[in-house]
Amino acid sequence: MRYGIKSITMDEIATSLGISKKTIYQFFTDKDELVSAVIEQEIGKNEAECVQFRDDAADAVHEVFLAVEDLDELLRYTNPLVLYDLEKYHPKAFRRIKDFKYQFLHAAMMENLGRGIAEGVYRADINKDIVAKSRIEASFLVFNPDIFPASKYSMSEVNFQLATLFLHGISTDKGKQLIEQYTNERNKKLSHGPKV
């Protein structure tokens, strides 16, 4: 996640684990299989976190803020080239991410939109399917170095701006008040957090 996938060799993985490369090959036939296993583990973790955000959130807007905060944690140590490396060198793992996006994340987003409409924080006139797909694609833009090069943009700030742009586009006045409330809470937390 930190250095990208292509640049890391099986020798480096073995060395960092303090084991021989032969030991890795007892469990994985090649790097592609290892990458697929890691992606599967990350997807499982992400699915569990999404369910937790839904359960812990005070409302639909809060659920989005919890997800944004979680993605911020991931972005702190993720090389934006990870998705590019997956697409180019590990197509099976990349397809698994696409399945995750268009199945689990789409269903979770549809549920969030339905919740927000029922709570009166999202507009009732939105096309939930279009909005859900748009949000999912926008959330992955943060990993595109051609659009948001790390030398010019903070991945965390891009993540936050894309999320709030999405929320403002679908929110009622009640929802916009929540966006302001959660933004203020986020800003207070960031101003009191560790300086990096």
pLDDT in tens, 104-121: 999 999 999 999 999 999
Rg (CA), the chain: 19
pLDDT of residue 196: 45
pLDDT in tens, 36-63: 999 999 999 999 999 999 999 999 999 9
Q: What angle do CA 15, 21, 22 make, to 5 degrees?
A: 150
Averaged pLDDT, 158-172: 97
In the predicted structure, residue 195 carries a pLDDT above the cut 70: no
Phi, psi (deg, nearest 5) at residue 157? -70, -40
In a 13 Å sphere around the CA of 173, the CA atoms on its Cβ side amount to: 0
In the predicted structure, residue 1 carries a pLDDT above the cut 60: yes
Tokens 């279009």, located at residue: 130
- Binned at pLDDT 50, 70 and 90, residue 192 comes out as confident
What is the C-alpha separation between 193 and 196, in angstroms, rounded?
A: 9
3-state secondary structure (DSSP) of residue 143: coil
pLDDT in tens, 65-124: 999 999 888 888 777 778 888 999 999 999 999 999 999 999 999 999 999 999 999 999
Averaged pLDDT, 179-196: 83
CATH topology of domain 30-192: Tetracycline Repressor; domain 2 (1.10.357)
Averaged pLDDT, 159-178: 97
In a 13 Å sphere around the CA of 3, the CA atoms on its Cβ side amount to: 7
pLDDT of residue 107: 97
Phi, psi (deg, nearest 5) at residue 2? -80, -40
- Binned at pLDDT 50, 70 and 90, residue 2 comes out as confident
